[in-house]
Structure 1
Amino acid sequence: MRYILLALFTLSSASLMAQFEGTPTISPSDFETKVYDIDSSAHAITLFEHGKTQIDKSESDRSLMVFHHYKTRLKILTKEGYEHANFTIPLYKYGSTFEYITNIKATTYNLVNGKIENIPLKNKDIFLEHKSDFVKLNKFTMPDIQTGSIIELEYTLVSPDIFNFRSWQFQTDIPKLKSDYRVLIPAIYKYNITLKGPLKLSDTKSKLQRECLVLNGNKIDCSDITYFMESIPAFKAEAYMLAPKNYISAVSFELEEMAMSGGGIKSFTKKWSDVDRELMTDKDFGGQLKKTNLLEETLTKLGDTSYNQLDKAKSVFRWVQKNIKWNNTYGKYAQHGIEDALKSKNGNSADINLTLITALNAAGIESYPILVSTRDNGLPNSLHPVISDFNYVIAGVKIQDQTYLADATDPLLPFGQLPMRCINEKGRIIFSKKSSEWIPLINNQISSTHYNFDGSLEPSGVLKGNLTIMYNGMDAVSKRRNILEYPSAEEYQEAIDEQLTSMTVKELNIENLDNNEISLIENFAIEIKLCDEIKGNTFYFNPIFINRTIKNPFNLDERNYHVDIGSRRDESHTITIKLPKGSNIKTSPKNVSFVLPEATARYNYKSELIDDSLHVAQHLSLKKAIYNTDEYFGLKELFSRVIQQLKIDHSFNYNANASL
């Protein structure tokens, strides 16, 4: 679904229509089939959009609020574009106040027998979902959508978030012919205004608007700025990327300072020392870290304290994982607090990881909180501290000269490994007695999957043998989660049989499912129809019969953001197949080795026939977790070559009078 902020309710305030005057009326010619130069393959296109944001007094809220007025018109070009008539509308909570929406008008226009018909959206077709204590989602689908439909919508969103004003995204997942955004900022406020993304503005206009706001009897002037952009291509997301908001062309605002009514300036731009002090004195952050006495008695029951610090840290980590279940809510501040979270065995990410940090310190292991902005939340501001940028906290554990990163929210995660949601460039480690500092958010363990098969190919074309798959790192976490979705190993085995129709699992044994500190291993006895019945003394098959790379994850002509795969990766296949006696290779893929500059990635493939046994080894290694834009085309070409390599079957001549 597209994300656009729409309206739900009606407010008896000034008419929204007055906010955007002079928009063109819809005519029959607008429904003509067109191919737009900006993107000839687009399934939908925004014809125009206007935004206007201002700070004003809200009599009903009895405070200053941000009023964001929006109007857009878009066209559905193909059946595939119907999804752009689905909308999800998030409303966020700031303090005790939720954003709300007023003055909605949403209509679908269709050309029927040469006449324009309009079908308005009805209130009964708008649904409200409470996603969390902090987010509500309004969802609806525009009525009577057809190929060629034009959608027009407008609304006003009212928000208490004066600090961040209202960001404007020029770029979305469909192209736009034009987009403009007007802001009226009272002179009492000073904002840091940031333009980001690869696209350039087509124009900017600014002027002074006199007496745009009356506050406490004082008439205040405003800076009136309008940003224009035209011919805006769609932002195309691809595999292995951070949140799109990090790369989309947009303008954002962050409150720097405010003039006080009694005189003087209040600064909102803090130093990290101010943030450190604020966090460590907050009862729901630093206050929780002082509760070591709650945990000391419990920790003495964990066992012998004579083992080394790393083993002790792992023991504490596992104890926290087992005793507080994550409620799937992010947070940098405790939702319930350590004591209540332990009693109820439930809490948000801060409840769990602040408990972990406190427990580690109670056990004599140096540990500190690390503020994190999760992967979908966007990158934190690195120029100056913005505490609202962070929505999560993890633990930094100091053992000898190494700092381990730990998150106890997921019972499948081993100590020292982060979930993918937390791998977002860098976090801020908050020390108790010295200034905080940035720390890279990385998983040192390589994510790997290794396939080993030893079997024989019968003249009927059926391959029988034993397949062993070993998983480590994030691959092991993902596979453990997959297996545990099934009530039993037998049902998991049945699911594999259903998914891989050509393969029959005769036997399955899983090792180390309950021990996430070591490799997860699956052992299969399998039969697979690898090739058609051998005829004419020649048979063909591809020995890489499981998890063969067939699709390139990198397909853009140009990628303006780096490739972030979360950790270094490694995958290998070691295949040994006993062939019918007297077999010899007729054709086979060439033995190859592809290496990117500075050996940042490598692929090797080798096959040979020794005494009627085919030995195949392939190995793909990505030596970096992050590849920059200059390295993108090398990765794209590497995967393209791997795919071409694996398309080639082996063919063999076979002595029909011989037997296995």
Structure 2
Amino acid sequence: MKKVTILLLMLSMAFMANAQQDLPKFPQVTVEDLIKKVYPKDSSAEAYIMTNYGNGWVYQNSEGGYEIAYQHFIRIKILKKSAFERATKALYLYIDSNQQDIELAEEVKGRTYNFNKDVIEIDELEAKDIFKTKYSKSFDKVSFTLPKVKEGSIIEYSYVIRSPFPFKPKDWDFQTDIPCERSEYTFGSPTNFAYRMLMQYCEGKLSEEKCNTSDNFRSCRWLMVDIPAMKQEKYVANLDDFTRKLHFELAEYIVRGMDTAKKLSMDWPDFDKQLLMDDDFGGRIGKISAFDAVAQSLKSQKTDTLELAKEVYKYVQSNFTWDGNKRLFTQSSLKEVFNRKTGSSSELNLLLISLLRQVGIAAKPVVISTRDHGRIWKDYPMISRFNYTLAQVNINGQNVLLDVTDKNLQWGLLPEYCMVGEGRLLIYNKSQWIPIQTSEKSGTKINMEFTFSPNEPELESQISYTGVGYQAIDYRSQYNTLGKEKFIEKLRNGFSSIDKPKIELEGFINADAGSQPVIMITGKNTEGYNKVNGKIYLKTIPYEGTTEHPFPNADRSFPVDFTYPTEEVITCKYIIPEGYSIAELPKGIRAALPQDGGRFYFSVTQDPAGKEINVTSQILLKKSIYSADEYQAIRSLYDHIVAKHNQMIVLQKK
């Protein structure tokens, strides 16, 4: 499980710190290093980091202000061609909105080592090969590519970034997507700046951690060795949540002209109060005269509280458009949002809360961090860890979470990126953590029917997909985003084994009618089965079966996140051709997760007349998230699923 530890630097007045620091001396590259062809601790690695060194320090500039510098040195052993792209590096330098506070890159250096004819050759990065370009309004880009990289090369580069933003130091990642032999980071600041430093890790531990204070300057050093690669795995919301890393937050500071220290750290009651009173968040919620006519009209239509709430939700969802921005704070007043009919996620959902309150329904904000933004650290309140707002109502004793950004959603359903486990319900003096969950599942029903002749290896295929719950929403979202023609073309490309598939759609237009979207595909599969020594081999599930194990690793230190409870039901019917009978049928199976967490049912049967074979597969996962402790049970369930979906039905001549 993820662990977080904390260290708070001591607070007192300080003098100017050294604005220039030299890199430490690193071991020389040896012939033994260069001739190495594999990383012994991970033979699959395309490259590995020999040394990763970082140093961040806060210092006072010549004008009396404070800045921060980041020094980085990295040395990488290249083992395979697929790692050549690691010789190209891009630095993104932030530019504040005033276009005056900018980050700068200095002292960019690099070299490539190769072993050639018993000689170590060194090629330096030249200044002409370092390029600075405008990346966007908010970022400059400095990029370079190290020369003469080949299999066996060792590359290294270093640079310094100077930043006028000492209040939000950059994270340090001990772990990356390739193994690392040694990762070291130091961080220092004058003692009038107190930083909170959070260590996040799933496995392993620090080899060294020490801090000291000298001449009103506080410095800390962390060392981690033999760090495995953080490899992308299926069913994880955000891999960065489980990477070994250091995170920095400024807790308090005092500078010349201040009588007392400015405290930035807070507890959860402080957090709740600050958001509820903020002019760009809770301060936006209130009676808005522009809503009066709409509120009166909606109230006149419905007297039942639940029906009225649904009508308000439908009104906002139908008449306002999300601009695609996920933000915690608003940038416009709700009156402006109401008039222009578009806004960010928080602007639209706070508008929904205001309108619900204006018709007499108690609605409250819930703040979350979306799946792509990363997990909340509940032990340490940080507004920066949140980036999204939902609305909550309690009607007839039932808590309902609402979001109006997606026009395909129905009452009480949330977008995929909002399914994050927990959120903070904001109520004056009564805020609390609440589960972000739904009773709705994501379900797919797949029906297949195949007929064929033993003389031609073609399966006449009739396949239908029916979306249920969140899968229905996903189908309709793709349809609405792409349009009918492009959506059908995407489906057609997914069935490359079917020659000129005919595709028909039902139930995609009117979601309110309760209809389920259905995709129907017909055509000939020209590689439908194998025929060996007069026997015909048919795959139990030729399409959509789970043929590759989603959990190949023996262990996993973080949860399995399916987003929603899920159910997949596949039925497959084969019509046996004349002159053939069944030689072998796979056996059925029933497997279940502990504590009724899910199940897998699989059966293969023939009809009494011996003319049909019917395959049924049902996978039911009742939870959206399974803990790391449940990983082995999930993995074992999928052992059965993969085995059965890969088995063959065998037919023989009578």
TM class by smaller structure? 0.7 to 0.9
**Residue of structure 1 aligned with 2:212, choices 207, 226, 230:** 207
How far apart in 1 are the matches of 2:421 and 2:96? 26
**Residue of structure 2 aligned with 1:368, choices 352, 364, 378:** 364
Q: Per-residue CA shift, 1:537-589, capped at 9, x if unaligned?
A: 75332352321111111122321111111111110112334434575421111
Structure 1 residues 313 and 125: alpha-carbon distance in aligned structure 2, compared to 1, 3 A threshold: farther
Structure 1 residues 286 and 648: alpha-carbon distance in aligned structure 2, compared to 1, 3 A threshold: same
User: What secondary structure does 1:377 align onto?
Assistant: coil
Q: Per-residue CA shift, 1:595-627, capped at 9, x if unaligned?
A: 122232211111211132222211011121111
Q: Identify the residue that residue 643 of structure 1 maps to in structure 2.
A: 642
Paired residues for 1:243-322 under 5 Å? 243-259=238-254, 263-301=259-297, 305-306=301-302, 308-322=304-318
User: What secondary structure does 1:520 align onto?
Assistant: coil
Q: Identify the residue that residue 76 of structure 1 maps to in structure 2.
A: 78
Task: Please state if 1:600 is matched with 2:597.
Answer: yes
Q: Per-residue CA shift, 1:320-372, capped at 9, x if unaligned?
A: 33433333222111123323333333322222221222222223332111111
- Comparing 361-370 with 159-168, greater Cα deviation is found at 159-168
Structure 1 residues 106 and 565: alpha-carbon distance in aligned structure 2, compared to 1, 3 A threshold: farther
Structure 1 residues 272 and 516: alpha-carbon distance in aligned structure 2, compared to 1, 3 A threshold: farther
User: What secondary structure does 1:398 align onto?
Assistant: strand
How far apart in 1 are the matches of 2:530 and 2:244? 57
Task: Please state if 1:55 is matched with 2:58.
Answer: yes
Q: Identify the residue that residue 220 of structure 2 maps to in structure 1.
A: 225
Q: Per-residue CA shift, 1:492-542, capped at 9, x if unaligned?
A: 434433431332533513213442784532242513337459898753323
Q: Is the 8 A contact 2:175 2:227 kept in 1?
A: yes
How far apart in 1 are the matches of 2:565 and 2:81? 40
User: When the two structures are superposed, what TM-score results if normalisation uses the length of structure 2?
Assistant: 0.87
Q: Is the 8 A contact 2:192 2:254 kept in 1?
A: yes
Paired residues for 1:69-148 under 5 Å? 69-91=71-93, 100-111=103-114, 114=119, 115-120=121-126, 122=128, 125-130=131-136, 141-148=145-152
Tell me the CA shift for residue 175 of structure 1. Answer: 1.4
Task: Please state if 1:178 is matched with 2:182.
Answer: yes
Q: Is the 8 A contact 1:276 1:435 kept in 2?
A: no
Structure 1 residues 414 and 623: alpha-carbon distance in aligned structure 2, compared to 1, 3 A threshold: same
Amino acid at match of 1:72: I
How far apart in 1 are the matches of 2:532 and 2:130? 66
Q: Identify the residue that residue 38 of structure 1 maps to in structure 2.
A: 41
Paired residues for 1:371-450 under 5 Å? 371-431=367-427, 433-450=428-445
Q: Is the 8 A contact 1:584 1:609 kept in 2?
A: no
Tell me the CA shift for residue 45 of structure 1. Answer: 1.5
How far apart in 2 are the matches of 1:153 and 1:23? 12
Q: Is the 8 A contact 1:50 1:180 kept in 2?
A: yes
Structure 1 residues 318 and 120: alpha-carbon distance in aligned structure 2, compared to 1, 3 A threshold: farther
How far apart in 2 are the matches of 1:267 and 1:303? 46
How far apart in 1 are the matches of 2:103 and 2:363? 41
Structure 1 residues 455 and 180: alpha-carbon distance in aligned structure 2, compared to 1, 3 A threshold: closer
How far apart in 1 are the matches of 2:450 and 2:303? 44
How far apart in 2 are the matches of 1:536 and 1:145? 52
Tell me the CA shift for residue 390 of structure 1. Answer: 0.9
- Comparing 531-540 with 271-280, greater Cα deviation is found at 531-540
Tell me the CA shift for residue 404 of structure 1. Answer: 1.7
Amino acid at match of 1:152: E
Q: CA RMSD in A?
A: 3.1
Tell me the CA shift for residue 92 of structure 1. Answer: 5.2
User: What secondary structure does 1:375 align onto?
Assistant: coil
Task: Please state if 1:347 is matched with 2:353.
Answer: no
User: What secondary structure does 2:372 align onto?
Assistant: helix
Structure 1 residues 237 and 223: alpha-carbon distance in aligned structure 2, compared to 1, 3 A threshold: same
Tell me the CA shift for residue 263 of structure 1. Answer: 4.6
Structure 1 residues 461 and 78: alpha-carbon distance in aligned structure 2, compared to 1, 3 A threshold: closer
Amino acid at match of 1:129: Y
How far apart in 1 are the matches of 2:260 and 2:18? 34
Structure 1 residues 95 and 502: alpha-carbon distance in aligned structure 2, compared to 1, 3 A threshold: closer
Tell me the CA shift for residue 445 of structure 1. Answer: 1.0
User: When the two structures are superposed, what TM-score results if normalisation uses the length of structure 1?
Assistant: 0.86
Q: Is the 8 A contact 2:124 2:147 kept in 1?
A: no
User: What secondary structure does 1:116 align onto?
Assistant: strand
Q: Identify the residue that residue 617 of structure 1 maps to in structure 2.
A: 616
Q: Is the 8 A contact 2:105 2:142 kept in 1?
A: no
Task: Please state if 1:477 is matched with 2:473.
Answer: yes
Q: Identify the residue that residue 631 of structure 1 maps to in structure 2.
A: 630
How far apart in 2 are the matches of 1:14 and 1:123? 30
Q: Per-residue CA shift, 1:139-190, capped at 9, x if unaligned?
A: 6654543223333222223345444434322111111121211122322233
Structure 1 residues 68 and 519: alpha-carbon distance in aligned structure 2, compared to 1, 3 A threshold: farther
How far apart in 2 are the matches of 1:404 and 1:362? 18
Q: Is the 8 A contact 2:110 2:158 kept in 1?
A: no
Q: Percent identity at matched positions?
A: 26
Q: Identify the residue that residue 4 of structure 2 maps to in structure 1.
A: none
Q: Is the 8 A contact 1:108 1:145 kept in 2?
A: no
Q: Identify the residue that residue 467 of structure 1 maps to in structure 2.
A: 463
User: What secondary structure does 1:638 align onto?
Assistant: helix
Q: Identify the residue that residue 155 of structure 1 maps to in structure 2.
A: 159
Q: Is the 8 A contact 2:492 2:503 kept in 1?
A: no
How far apart in 2 are the matches of 1:176 and 1:536? 52
- Pairs aligned (count): 627
User: What secondary structure does 1:340 align onto?
Assistant: helix
Q: Is the 8 A contact 2:130 2:143 kept in 1?
A: no
Amino acid at match of 1:35: V
Q: Is the 8 A contact 1:260 1:266 kept in 2?
A: no
Structure 1 residues 75 and 523: alpha-carbon distance in aligned structure 2, compared to 1, 3 A threshold: closer
| Structure 2: gaps (5+ residues) | 1-16
Structure 1 residues 151 and 546: alpha-carbon distance in aligned structure 2, compared to 1, 3 A threshold: same
Q: Per-residue CA shift, 1:75-94, capped at 9, x if unaligned?
A: 22211112323445445577
Q: Per-residue CA shift, 1:447-487, capped at 9, x if unaligned?
A: 11111235644555554464332112332233223333443
- Comparing 92-101 with 366-375, greater Cα deviation is found at 92-101
How far apart in 2 are the matches of 1:372 and 1:138? 34
How far apart in 1 are the matches of 2:539 and 2:329? 54
Tell me the CA shift for residue 21 of structure 1. Answer: 3.1
Structure 1 residues 395 and 496: alpha-carbon distance in aligned structure 2, compared to 1, 3 A threshold: same
**Residue of structure 1 aligned with 2:355, choices 337, 359, 367:** 359
How far apart in 2 are the matches of 1:520 and 1:280? 40
Q: Identify the residue that residue 658 of structure 1 maps to in structure 2.
A: none
How far apart in 2 are the matches of 1:531 and 1:90? 51
